[in-house]
């Protein structure tokens, strides 16, 4: 499977989970759902954007697809930075920061791989 297709399907799936069941999504991201009742709102905001980015990327072709992949790379790089910053300022424990940062870095790598010309 093309890395962009896999990444886009993953975005739609994670987004649907975050939108449809924000408490479960928060727990999967190892966040303290009980201590953060506003987390459901942020999860739904995140989820709707992931669904939109993933679906649009799946439906696009050519230059539009490339632009969406680049946007996804930027979003994922920002997510990785957010995880690292949360670790640095003590907002989350190491395991939570790693659980956010590592997949974001992997998504950046998959996006970059998807931009490479087919061999």
pTM for the full model? 0.90
The answer, yes or no, to whether residue 53 has pLDDT greater than 70, is yes
Flag whether 42 is in a domain. Answer: yes
Helix then strand then coil, in percent of the chain rounded to 5, is 80, 0, 20
What pLDDT score does 117 carry? 84
**Does 14 score more than 90 pLDDT?**
yes
- Residue 24 counted as domain residue: yes
Determine contact, residues 57/72, Cβ cutoff 8 Å.
yes
Q: For residue 20, what are the domain limits? A: 3-114
Q: Give the pLDDT confidence score for residue 119 in this predicted structure.
A: 42
Q: Are 29 and 96 in contact (CB under 8 A)?
A: yes
Mean pLDDT of 21-25: 96
Tokens of 9: 């399907």
Q: What are phi and psi of 55, to 5 degrees?
A: -65, -45
- CB contact at 8 A, 50 and 29: no
Instruction: Give the 3-state secondary structure of residue 53.
Output: helix
pLDDT digits (tens, 9 = 90+) for 62-105: 999 999 999 999 999 999 999 999 999 999 999 999 999 999 99
| Mean pLDDT, range 50-67, rounded to an integer | 97
Q: Considering its fold, how many domains does the chain have in total?
A: 1
pLDDT at residue 60, as a whole number: 98
What is the spatial distance between Cα 22 and Cα 1, in angstroms, rounded to a whole number?
29
**In this structure, is residue 119 part of a structural domain?**
no
| Residues 92 and 86: beta-carbon distance below 8 Å | yes
**Is 87 within a domain?**
yes
- Mean of pLDDT over the chain: 95
């Amino acid at each position: 499977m093309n890395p962009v297709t896999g990444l886009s399907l993953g975005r739609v799936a994670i987004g649907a989970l975050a939108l449809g069941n924000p408490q479960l999504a928060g727990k999967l991201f190892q966040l303290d759902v009980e201590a953060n009742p506003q987390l459901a709102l942020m999860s739904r905001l995140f989820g709707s954007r992931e669904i939109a980015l993933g679906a649009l990327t799946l439906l696009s072709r050519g230059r539009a697809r490339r632009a969406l992949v680049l946007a996804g790379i930027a979003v994922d790089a920002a997510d990785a930075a957010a995880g690292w910053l949360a670790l640095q300022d003590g907002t989350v424990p190491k395991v939570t920061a790693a659980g956010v940062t590592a997949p974001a870095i992997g998504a950046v790598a998959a996006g970059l791989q998807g931009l490479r010309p087919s061999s």
